[in-house]
Amino acid sequence: MAWRDALNEGPVPPGLSLEATSAVRARFLAERGYGSPIKLIHDFERRDADVRRARELNEVVLWFEHDLYDQLQLLQVLTALEELDLEPGRVSVVQTDHYLSNMTVDEIVPLFTKRRTATPAIFKSARRNWERFTSPRSDDLYAAAGEDAIGLPYLRSALKRLCEEYPWKRDGTSRSQRQALYAVAQGPGRTEELFARAQAREEAHFLSERIFAKMLADLADGESALIEGEEGTLVPSALGRRVLAGDADWLDFHRIDRWIGGVHLEPGSSTRWDEDTERLI
């Protein structure tokens, strides 16, 4: 089973069941143009039903990488499985700082033998951090990003990377938006080339090219656009050049409307990421 949902983008409200969260996610993904509403709903319903049938399985093995995309999904899966109250030892976890899709069979097989049983402490740790991620308070996410999580060695750095998606104190863009703007400023290139440039600045890749293309479209939209031009000839706009130079704050011109977990960033939101102190302020 593939857990196909980029939880780092869009609303993930607190206190919802797996199925209720899926309904929110399907609606958001459809609105963003990532698929038809009917197919998205069907895919989520089938996935969630499969999770609920975990009691019928002898063993459930979770395979996840170290990046933000995977670590948020791992929290959600563990939280959902904890609700089933399975016998100890039925769920195990494989985590790696190598990308599984790039590994050979000879490299992957040894990981299976090193899988770690999901103990009650790991389930509790996952639930606590899922609740922090979905909290409407940015302080909760920042607290999670400052602590090691039992059995989840890559979570702390992943959540810190998520904190960097808040508007930066310096110019009002998120880290991903700024990296996209830098990629455009390096010179003309098609979306896949701009994506490669932006990803080169990441410690752990988590964005897909499709989501990156949507980000470029957002940055090119409206009077507050930071980039302009046709695909293949994108360049920073006049405002984009000012933002790159640190002479303008994008949010003085741009009406923000984004979600980070359970936090809705909208006009009047005051939380920023301070890159100098590495904290939310």
| Residue 170 belongs to some domain of the structure | no
CATH number for 187:
1.10.10.10
What is the spatial distance between Cα 23 and Cα 10, in angstroms, rounded to a whole number? 13
Report yes or no on 270 lying in a domain.
no
What is the pLDDT at residue 216?
96
Task: Determine the structural domain holding residue 228 and report its residue range.
Answer: 175-255
Query: What is the count of structural domains for the chain?
Result: 2
19, 22, 27, 30: CA torsion to nearest 10: -140
DSSP per-residue string spanning 224-271: T-SEESSTTS-EE-HHHHHHHTT---GGGT----EEEETEEE-TT---
Average pLDDT score over residue span 161-177: 97
Q: 270 pLDDT band (50/70/90 cuts)? A: confident
pLDDT at site 232: 66
Does residue 158 surpass a pLDDT of 90? yes
* Per-residue pLDDT tens digits for 219-241: 999 999 999 987 668 999 999 99
Q: Both 231 and 118 in a single domain?
A: no
Q: How confident is the model at residue 269 (pLDDT cuts 50, 70, 90)?
A: confident
Residue 28 lies in a domain: yes
The tokens describing 182, both together, are 């830098």
**pLDDT score for 189:** 86
pTM of the full predicted structure? 0.96
Q: Establish if 278 belongs to a structural domain.
A: no
Q: Is residue 99 part of a domain?
A: yes
- HSE-CB at 184 with a 13 A cutoff on CA atoms is 28
CA 26 to the chain's CA centroid = 16
Is 48 within a domain?
A: yes
What residues contact 217, with CB distance under 8 A and at least 6 apart?
A: none
Domain shared by 119 and 209, yes or no: no
- Do 21 and 135 fall within a single domain? yes
Residues 76 and 194 placed together within one structural domain of the fold: no
Predicted pLDDT of residue 231: 63
